[in-house]
A = this chain, B = another copy of it.
């Protein structure tokens, strides 16, 4: 049997984690983009021009790679990314973000940033550090 405090802490993490992605998802919807699509764009931006494969995207997303293909499909439709065969391994696909994708992402980041504004300042830097550390410790990291 687990302690009450254990479940309360776990519950906070679960509820808050889902609540944040839900809220962000709603904000993004105004821009006709889903949360996973947004995530892919951010990953691609982080590559700073370097191409990345479907598999690598999947690894950073904790999502089935089967669906990453379809997420990239959607982004292609909107011309926010490029997809081309990897020259050294024709099984792989090189995905990059387009200029339009970068511009769109800037708007999205802005919107998401405003969502976070309301929480910024509720915890001190030290408290934020403690929070992250405690969750990692909870997971055994």
Which residues of A line the B interface, CB within 8 A? Answer: 1-3, 5-6, 8-10, 12-22, 62, 113, 116-120, 122-123, 125, 127-132, 134-140
CB neighbours (8 Å) of A119 from chain B are 6, 10, 138-140
Given known A-B contacts A2-B116, A10-B116, A13-B20, A131 and B131 have beta carbons under 8 A apart: yes
CB neighbours (8 Å) of A136 from chain B are 12
Contact A20 B12 (CB under 8 A): no
Copies in the complex: 2
Contact A128 B13 (CB under 8 A): no
Contact B12 A131 (CB under 8 A): yes
Contact B134 A6 (CB under 8 A): no
Given known A-B contacts A15-B17, A128-B3, A134-B131, A9 and B123 have beta carbons under 8 A apart: yes
Q: Which of B2, B9, B16, B132 meets A139, CB within 8 Å?
A: B16
